[in-house]
Amino acid sequence: MDLCLKSSSPFLGNYDSCYESFRENVSSCPCVEDQTQKEPGDVSILSILHDVSQSYVMSGDGSSKISAEIEEQKRGQVMFAKHAIIKEKLYLFGTGTKIAILFECSVIEIAEKLIYNRDERAEALSITEGSQALICFSENSNECEIFDGRTSRRTLNSTFTHDLGGLGYYKGQPTSVGCQSTNNKKTETLTASGWTTLPDFPENYASHNLIGLKNGGMILVGGYNAVGYFSRIWQLKDNRWTKLGDLQTAHGLGSAIFTGNSIYVFPGGPKTENEHAIQRIDFTAGEDFLQTQIIGYHSGWYKYPILLETSAYYCRY
């Protein structure tokens, strides 16, 4: 795989044969299983940090956290990037119009570009059953585009700006909440006819994470404003906002991933040494809120970790 990638030009089409061969080999490995119902101990999550030397693979129950050997083709590709899965490949959308992809254990910049300049306030979400990504926003921008792995095209812009307002699924539709630059509480969801306004969020902050549930509801975790970081967990369901509970410690500027019956929350802030907590939010099989617990810690302050559910042995040598 490594030899194939190094001999390819940076256009994505030239990488496809390398990736497909690698994917076929991985899928036949006995350590990769299709599990529809996963216990935390069965989950492994790769966390790529902007200091890639500190990246790791962690088990969902916190019993294992081992360094992962990730390389950046160019320094700074991971810093402030937002990410999404497209056709089973992990894409990173960095500052400007640059796009990178994770091939095996290397982050490689590709020749394809976004249409709009993006910054760390942008958001990205896998859409259309993982075949495309929706990329929206930057500071004071409501511009959106759709990238399919080869080309990017303009799509409907939101009514309000939602920089650092997150992107997640509500009733199967991409949705964003709040805004860092304008301090609005607006909730908008993208339908076939355009962005539609939903009930305002009760709080006034951004830098949270949005996670869609299978029942159509959406969870909002943490957040940040001029006052500080927040630990609250909110749910939007049946067009009503309800507070479900709290994280063990405050959280913002981070990332989250939903698998099994749990949401795994990887912190960006606060900067306080003892508050870089990695937390798990557990739900019942019916997706009722159950509990939160700390399962580990970052070694430092890392904004927007890049998360990928993978095998326990990914990039570990």
pLDDT at 270: 75
Q: pLDDT (tens digit, 9 = 90+) per residue, 234-291?
A: 999 999 999 999 999 999 999 999 999 999 999 998 776 557 899 999 999 999 999 9
- On the question of pLDDT at 88 being above 80, the answer is yes
Mean pLDDT of the chain: 89
What pLDDT sits at residue 304? Answer: 96
Residue 269 has a pLDDT of: 80
- Going along the chain from its start, the domains and CATH numbers come out as 2-309 (2.120.10.80)
pLDDT value of position 32: 39
- Residue-wise pLDDT tens digits, 108-150: 999 999 999 999 999 999 999 999 999 999 999 999 999 999 9
Q: Say whether pLDDT at 30 is over 70.
A: no
Q: Mean pLDDT across the stretch 35-59?
A: 90
Is the pLDDT at 212 greater than 80, yes or no? yes
Mean pLDDT calculated for residue range 305-315: 95
Between the alpha carbon of residue 142 and those of residues 44, 69, 192, 210, the distances in Å are 35, 36, 17, 18
Range with lowest mean pLDDT among 23-27, 28-32, 93-97, 258-262: 28-32
Per-residue pLDDT band at 175 (split at 50, 70, 90): very high
Angle, CA of 256, 72 and 86, to the nearest 5°: 50
- In the predicted model, what is the mean pLDDT of residues 41-61? 96
- Whether the per-residue pLDDT at 1 is higher than 70: the answer is no
Confidence (pLDDT) at 76: 85
What pLDDT, on the 0 to 100 scale, is given for residue 22? 45
Question: In the prediction, which pLDDT does 6 show?
Answer: 47
Lowest mean pLDDT among 56-60, 230-234, 295-299: 295-299
- Once rounded to an integer, what is the mean pLDDT over residues 5-23? 51
| pLDDT, position 273 | 55
Q: What is the pLDDT of residue 150?
A: 96
Q: Look at residue 153 in the predicted model and tell me its pLDDT.
A: 98
